[in-house]
Amino acid sequence: MLIFGDFNYDLLKPNTAARHYQLTLKENAIQILNKIDPDYCTRETNTTRTILDHVCSSLQQNEFHLVLIESAMADHKQIFLEVKKCQQFSVRQIQYNAIDYTKLYTSFQLISEDNDDHTYASLERKILTCLSNSKIKKIKFLNPPKQDWINRDVIDAINKRNKLWQLKNRPDLTNINIDEDLDKQKKLVTEIIQNSKTNYYLKTFNTCINKPAKMWNLINSLSINKIKNVLPPIRLQIDSKVIVDETEVCEQFNLYFSTIGLNLANEILSLYPIDNMPPLVTNKDEITTFEPVSIDEVDKII
């Protein structure tokens, strides 16, 4: 959990309310990422320095890169935060024995060709031997507990899809209709899962209205899901220089935003100089005489 905001608690000069605020964060294992130092204040005037704007995080095992950016539009500084190192949650896995049905089917064919004694004991022994020889090692990933959106309809649809997949991979069956049925069932499973998730989370979020603590717990439970990284590599081009280092990219943004205000002000002065007022009228007769003017003349004066 990451929280940005102007909390109106001055961390440089904490009063009773600010100390109580910091104690509450500490009790809930939430740390303040800002450096509590006047040189790293987030709001600066001619007479005061304060840290009202700050970032809180409950991610204890992560590393962050935080940059304070001067703003020409306000006395509050902008905060840029980057996760330098994110804790990876490894998925538990176990090994188990499974049956290779293709290998088992081939073994049973050999039994039917070599069963001269026709005794149940011999048949049982050969079946057990085939089962033992057809065992393979598999790995199962132990995913976190399933959410309530996995209902009976979802499970039944998945089971039906798995049965069709097993029929498709049997070497003794070559039915084209199985492929068509499998494709239809896959699309149906995807649709059922999407609808079930939508209905479940909509209902769950509606129960959290006007309950901030419950809402944050729900958001935290959703944020631990795996997120696929589909973003391209970080790459910033400045003139002819290409920057790929993440820290250097942040510093370049800091340099840009800390100087853009002054550069913009200088550009405005060069393009639109302030000294564009017409000379003062010295003839008193002209002062008492009103003459029509055009819109262009008014725009030029303004």
What tokens appear for 91 in the block?
Answer: 């998925």
pTM of the model: 0.31
Domain holding 97, by residue range, is 92-142
Rounded Cα distance, 248 and 53, in Å: 24
pLDDT above 90 covers a percentage of the chain that reads: 4
pLDDT above 70 covers a percentage of the chain that reads: 81
Lowest mean pLDDT among 17-31, 76-90, 233-247: 76-90
Please check whether residues 138 and 151 belong to one and the same domain: no
Mean predicted lDDT score pLDDT of the chain: 78
The residue from 204, 220, 236 where one domain ends is 220
For residue 243, being part of any structural domain is answered with no
Please check whether residues 161 and 201 belong to one and the same domain: yes
Rounded Cα distance, 12 and 17, in Å: 13
Higher pLDDT, 53 or 142: 53
Q: What is the dihedral of CA 177, 179, 180, 185, to 10 degrees?
A: 120
For residue 80, being part of any structural domain is answered with yes
Q: At 285, is the pLDDT very low, low, confident or very high (cuts 50, 70, 90)?
A: low
| Residue of 65, 66, 51, 55 lying closest to 18 (CA atoms) | 51
Burial label for 87, CB within 10 Å (0-12, 13-18, 19+), is: exposed
For residue 277, being part of any structural domain is answered with no
According to DSSP, residue 48 is labeled -
Task: Write down the pLDDT at residue 187.
Answer: 93
For residue 282, being part of any structural domain is answered with no
Residue type, 182: L
pLDDT digits (tens, 9 = 90+) for 49-93: 888 888 888 877 777 888 888 877 777 888 887 777 666 666 677
Residue 243, pLDDT > 80, answer: yes
Q: At 188, is the pLDDT very low, low, confident or very high (cuts 50, 70, 90)?
A: very high
Please check whether residues 122 and 196 belong to one and the same domain: no
Q: At 192, is the pLDDT very low, low, confident or very high (cuts 50, 70, 90)?
A: very high
Please check whether residues 121 and 102 belong to one and the same domain: yes
Q: Which of 9-18, 55-64, 89-98, 193-202 has the highest mean pLDDT?
A: 193-202
For residue 174, being part of any structural domain is answered with yes
Q: At 229, is the pLDDT very low, low, confident or very high (cuts 50, 70, 90)?
A: very low
| 251 Cβ contact partners less than 8 Å away, ≥ 6 residues apart | 67
Task: Write down the pLDDT at residue 147.
Answer: 63
Please check whether residues 7 and 65 belong to one and the same domain: yes
Please check whether residues 7 and 75 belong to one and the same domain: yes
Task: Write down the pLDDT at residue 101.
Answer: 86
What tokens appear for 10 in the block?
Answer: 């001055």
Count of alpha carbons within 13 Å of 121, Cβ hemisphere only?
Answer: 1
Name residue, tokens 């998730």.
197
Lowest mean pLDDT among 13-17, 21-25, 30-34, 174-178: 174-178
Residue 272, pLDDT > 90, answer: no
| 44 Cβ contact partners less than 8 Å away, ≥ 6 residues apart | 50, 75, 77
Please check whether residues 108 and 160 belong to one and the same domain: no
Q: How many Cβ atoms from other residues are within 10 Å of residue 51's Cβ? A: 25
- Into how many domains does the chain fold? 3
Q: Is the Cβ–Cβ distance between 159 and 189 less than 8 Å?
A: no
For residue 77, being part of any structural domain is answered with yes
For residue 61, being part of any structural domain is answered with yes
Task: Write down the pLDDT at residue 225.
Answer: 52
Please check whether residues 18 and 78 belong to one and the same domain: yes
For residue 120, being part of any structural domain is answered with yes
Q: What is the distance in angstroms between the CA of the first residue and the CA of the last residue of the chain?
A: 50
Task: Write down the pLDDT at residue 230.
Answer: 46
Q: Is the Cβ–Cβ distance between 9 and 18 less than 8 Å?
A: yes
What is the average per-residue pLDDT within 13-40? 82
The residue from 47, 63, 85 where one domain ends is 85
Q: Is the Cβ–Cβ distance between 34 and 55 less than 8 Å?
A: yes
3-state secondary structure 55-91: EEECCCCCEEEEEEECCCCCCECEEEEEEEECCCCCC
What is the average per-residue pLDDT within 28-46? 82
What is the average per-residue pLDDT within 191-213? 88
Task: Write down the pLDDT at residue 88.
Answer: 63
According to DSSP, residue 145 is labeled P
Residue 191, pLDDT > 60, answer: yes
